[in-house]
Amino acid sequence: MRFNHMELTFEPGSLDAVCRHDINEFYGDMFGWNGHDIELLDQKCFFLSVDEGQFILCAESPKYMHSTGYDHLGLLFDDRVEIDERLAKAKTWRAKDDRVQIKEYEELVTGGVTVHAFYVKYLLPIWFDVQVIER
């Protein structure tokens, strides 16, 4: 099983051209995602393609998402080098844009399993848990 999509809602007026551009630039650089505008149900939305068949749909709504906790989507990578490279990218982005938020964690070791991870959040109303699970 894979996820098909996640819809994230934004405060009306906040998902403007500048915001969509910034989302596309950041997530494109961090994860290789590609965003573009689409019309859906008579509304202009932003479609952030993760890969063939997986996407994040960004739309404005009077009842928009506001996450004050650590609501997140976990992104699983194959090795710790990928995690460390993405953490370095996130720190580079944060140095030039203080809207980038990063939470670094100590490795979680449980039995014979080690989770090497960090959280990153930028303009979308959720965190992304970027991790590798080593056995």
Q: What is the pTM assigned to this prediction?
A: 0.94
The helix or strand, by DSSP H or E, that contains position 101, with its residue range, turns out to be strand 101-104
Return the percentage of the chain with pLDDT > 90, whole number: 95
Please choose, from the candidates 105, 104, 99, the residue with its C-alpha nearest in 3D space to the C-alpha of residue 123: 99
DSSP codes joined into one string, 117-132? EEEEE-SSSSEEEEEE
In the chain, where the domains are located: 5-60, 72-134
pLDDT at 1 over 90: no
Count of H-run helices and E-run strands, the chain: 2, 9
Summarised one tens digit per residue, pLDDT across range 30-58 is 999 999 999 998 899 999 999 999 999 99
Summarised one tens digit per residue, pLDDT across range 85-112 is 999 999 999 999 999 999 999 999 999 9
